[in-house]
Amino acid sequence: MNNCPGPTAPQKEITAYLNKIYEQGDLEPVMNELHLWSLDSEYINKDKLEKNSIREFYDLDYDLYFSYQINYARAGYQQKNKPALPEGAECLICRENASSPGKENLRIFDLKLKGVEEETDFFLQLTPFPLFPRHLVLINREHTPMNMGAESIAQSLSFIGMAPHYTLCSNSDLEWAGASILSHSHFQLLHKRRLPVMNASPLFEFDSEKGLKVEALRFPLPVIRLSSEKRTDLVREGSRIIDLWKKTAPGMRTVNMLIYREENNFICTLVLRDSQFRTPEDLQKYKSEGIGVVEAAGSWIFPPPSGYPEEELTQNSREIIKGFFKGIRVFDPLDIKGYDFLPYKRKENV
Ligand SMILES: [Zn+2]
């Protein structure tokens, strides 16, 4: 790429540069350039990317590897004083934060996503504390609340249609049920990363229409996976499942969602969440904040150990993580009755 703006280039220059790349038709090179610029400008740095090491363990019950990391990079930051929100911003991810005091090196890229009917303005930015390399956030241009349903599925699929090497992960729209920033609609983006739930095998399949596959997964939390070549299938059936699930206990239930591509298929994975099922008290010393989508997908993030030795976590990670899963699961995924709310019959002999 020529004419790459220097590390102090203002937003205007970045926008012009990235738009030129986007005009050639692909979104992923734009995201790559934004990532490289963010490294040049030290918005993110080598230390942040390399400090958190990911560890894995195998669990025979699910025939899956689960992973965890201790988030050292973020810990240092939280101790510092946070600057006040810039003028016009209503929260930490509002667009006004870009280039503001304390976030001088934050640059964004504006794009439109197609919803069920209309296009909506979004923007992309790097997260300041990446859990993985090329960890971006896709944020609604308006300060509008999270809402899991047809529109968020359609917008997510619109994005993945343009960036097939990314996995889109969505926190939820309900506190203590896999939420992060509730007041402002946004999605997490991970580059070429398969989270454990994406490798989970089906427990059984439901009878659905031709071209659409609906499966319950062998996983510590109840998860429904929909796959189809047709995005409209996922919008229609995914939102139907979310609405039905929410109705089983209004105000308490919602989902965490992953949207990604596998060859010609679009995949929509829904993790069923309930705000009444939280971290058990004896595990809160390891992690007291809510459990978000990345953890629900099997990749855990812990703050640096305080008040207990790190070995306690690393030597017992399997039992500790199993305990978290058990605490937040709304029903035992092996109990097929839990899926009775679905509008499909179970397929025989799968
Ligand atoms: Zn906001």
51-341: CATH number: 3.30.428.70
Q: Is the pLDDT of residue 199 over 60?
A: yes
Range in 20-29, 54-63, 72-81, 210-219 with the lowest mean pLDDT: 72-81
Instruction: Identify the DSSP state of 166.
Output: E
Distance in Å, CA 305 to ligand 1 centroid: 31
What are the φ and ψ backbone dihedral angles of 58, each rounded to 5 degrees?
A: -95, 140
141-179 residue pLDDT tens: 999 999 999 999 999 999 999 999 999 999 999 999 999
Nearest of 135, 9, 15, 129 to residue 72 by alpha carbon? 129
Task: State in Å: Cα 315 to ligand 1 middle.
Answer: 40
Give 121 Cα–ligand 1 centroid separation in angstroms. Answer: 14
Q: What's residue 350's pLDDT?
A: 52
For ligand 1, the distance from its centroid to the CA atom of residue 12, given in whole angstroms, is 21
Distance (Å) from CA 125 to ligand 1 centroid? 14
pLDDT of 79 above 90: no
> For residue 40, which amino acid is it?
D
Q: Where are the domains of the chain?
A: 51-341
Instruction: Answer yes or no: are the C-beta atoms of 109 and 91 closer than 8 Å.
Output: no
Residues 311, 172 contacting (CB under 8 angstroms): no
Residue 2 scores a pLDDT above 70: no
Distance 149 CA to ligand 1 centre (A): 20
Residue 171 CA to ligand 1 centre (angstroms)? 15
Mean of per-residue pLDDT scores for the chain: 94
The more confident residue out of 76 and 150 is 150
> What is the ipTM metric for this complex?
1.00
- Centre of ligand 1 to C-alpha 297, Å, is 25
Instruction: Give the C-alpha separation, 82 to 55, whole Å.
Output: 31
How confident is the model over 47-73, as pLDDT tens digits? 888 888 899 999 999 999 999 999 887
Whether 31 and 134 have beta carbons less than 8 Å apart is answered as yes
Q: Tell me, what's the pLDDT at 83?
A: 72
Sheet holding 119-126, edge to edge: 109-114, 119-126, 135-140, 186-191, 166-170, 253-262, 265-274, 223-228, 212-217, 202-206
* 280-339 per-position pLDDT tens digit: 999 999 999 999 999 999 999 999 999 999 999 999 999 999 999 999 999 999 998 999
State the CB neighbour count (10 A cutoff) for residue 141: 16
Two structure tokens written together for 256: 């965490």
- Listed in order, strand segments (DSSP E) in 192-333 are 202-206, 212-217, 223-228, 253-262, 265-274, 299-302
226-277 residue pLDDT tens: 999 999 999 999 999 999 999 999 999 999 999 999 999 999 999 999 999 9
